[in-house]
Amino acid sequence: MTGTVVVGLQFGDEGKGKIVDYLADRADVVVRFQGGANAGHTVQVGDQLYAFHLLPSGVLRTRSMNVIGNGVVIDPAQLLKEIEETRALGHSVENLRISDRAHVVMPYHKIIDGLEEKLKGSLGAGTTLRGIGPSFEDKVGRFGIRMCDLVDPVALREKLETMVPIKQRLIDAYGGTERLDLETIYKEQVEYGLRLAPFVADTSVWLDGAIRRRKRVLFEGAQGTHLCIDHGIYPFGTSSDCVAGAASVGAGVGPQFLTDIVGVAKAFTSRVGTGPFPTEVEGSTAEYLRERGGGEYGTTTRRPRRVGWLDLVMLRMAVRVNGLVSLAVTKLDVLGGLDRIPICVGYRFDGEAVKEFPASMRVLSRCEPVYREFKGWPDLSESDWIATAKKGKRALPEAVRKYLEFIEAQLKVPVRIISVGRPRAATIGH
């Protein structure tokens, strides 16, 4: 039995939600294993657009179970909102399990996120202000409150009585003016706990049972390799591990089960937030890329994404640290209508060729991309892309095939899924 892991290879926003949704067709269980409500996965079913932050994308498939693993930090209010919205759209959420070991994002985490960002100045990552960093800080610092505490009023009270005064001191020291009220926080959180309790379980045990029953499990990564706390552009990434190995830790399953690793790369690059971005473009080309394909705006924050060309230095590293078995390339339709499309094949730093993605941000910010130009392809309508997808890979414009063949040859990983638009039907898989 194999577990499939889907990870982003760039700065998040690669279109993973759509790929997970596509692969979830063949999965019995979909698992989120890291990140939190900073993620935003957009899935289109028919005319309906769904944007999830915490719910696994498989929740729209009635036959698949969905798990939020221990590696995710959970904002209970946000999760309850998504559960209610999904129910209102006519989907049952009875197929959801939440790990009792997942950490909870508390209201003070969001306050501290904002304060820390301000204090960091140019070292701030431009976070989503969802309290992600501070809740992972608490997890590692052993200050955290977990789902097993949230659903237990006695444990919750005990922890909050210790934590709230500590966090108030931190807010004061950071120069914040916010006042934390223990009773208000307790009342609010205890109610969230009661509402979420039916979903909370030891999901590692549950997943072990599913694997033994030979269920097909799909692990849904959030963010992307270059936002990873260990392998990403530190300190401008997020606070969780976003690579395939994190699926084992963040779901509580052995690594030997994770043998099918699918990496999702957008046909160009984009990011929200700060930090070096060697292939970034500005001006009218940036606008062209940003305004097409549904618009390059953050799903969580609606901030305009910075955009740039495909970067193979980034992707080569992502292939290695994830142990990729195959690739999914998305948003090829967005590049339609351009005459020439550059791909970055390497960097130069102080006149020297740079082979591997540098650790130092000072070096990365001075790296000059080396490009190879490709012929563009026509700007097809959505229905034309869907008709092309129906016919398969061979029906794609020749320039698209050449672009994909070059990526495959450079990365030495086969492209298994090609996405040429948001709808499910605009997908070629094999």
Q: What are the residues binding ligand IMP (CB under 6 A)?
A: 11-13, 38-40, 125-128, 130, 132-133, 222-223, 227, 236-239, 272-273
Q: Which residue is nearest to ligand IMP (CB)?
A: 273
Residue 359 neighbours by CB distance under 10 Å: 10
Q: From the candidates 41, 91, 103, 226, which is the catalytic residue?
A: 41
Q: Which candidate, 179, 199, 189, places its Cα nearest to that of 157? A: 189
Q: From the candidates 13, 100, 113, 152, which is the catalytic residue?
A: 13
Asked if 218 and 24 count as a contact pair (C-beta separation under 8 A), the reply is yes
End-to-end CA separation in angstroms for the chain? 19
Minimum distance of ligand IMP from residue 124's CB (angstroms): 9
363 contact partners, CB below 8 Å, separation of at least 6: 349, 354
Minimum distance of ligand IMP from residue 109's CB (angstroms): 10
Residue holding tokens 């208000």?
184
Minimum distance of ligand IMP from residue 56's CB (angstroms): 14
Cβ-based burial of 149 (10 A; exposed 0-12, middle 13-18, buried ≥19): buried
Q: Is 41 one of the catalytic residues?
A: yes
Q: What residues pair up with 50 in beta bridges, in sequence order?
A: 43
Q: Which candidate, 272, 226, 164, places its Cα nearest to that of 10? A: 226
193 vs 298, beta carbon nearer ligand IMP: 298
Minimum distance of ligand IMP from residue 223's CB (angstroms): 5
Minimum distance of ligand IMP from residue 72's CB (angstroms): 12
CA-to-CA distance for 40 and 56, rounded, in angstroms? Answer: 10
36 vs 76, beta carbon nearer ligand IMP: 36
210 vs 233, beta carbon nearer ligand IMP: 233
Minimum distance of ligand IMP from residue 1's CB (angstroms): 29
Asked if 224 and 14 count as a contact pair (C-beta separation under 8 A), the reply is yes
Cβ-based burial of 254 (10 A; exposed 0-12, middle 13-18, buried ≥19): exposed
8 contact partners, CB below 8 Å, separation of at least 6: 14, 16, 221, 222, 223, 224, 225, 227, 242, 263, 264
4 vs 127, beta carbon nearer ligand IMP: 127
65 vs 74, beta carbon nearer ligand IMP: 74
Asked if 10 and 263 count as a contact pair (C-beta separation under 8 A), the reply is no
Q: Is 231 one of the catalytic residues?
A: no
273 vs 336, beta carbon nearer ligand IMP: 273
Residues with active-site annotation: 13, 41
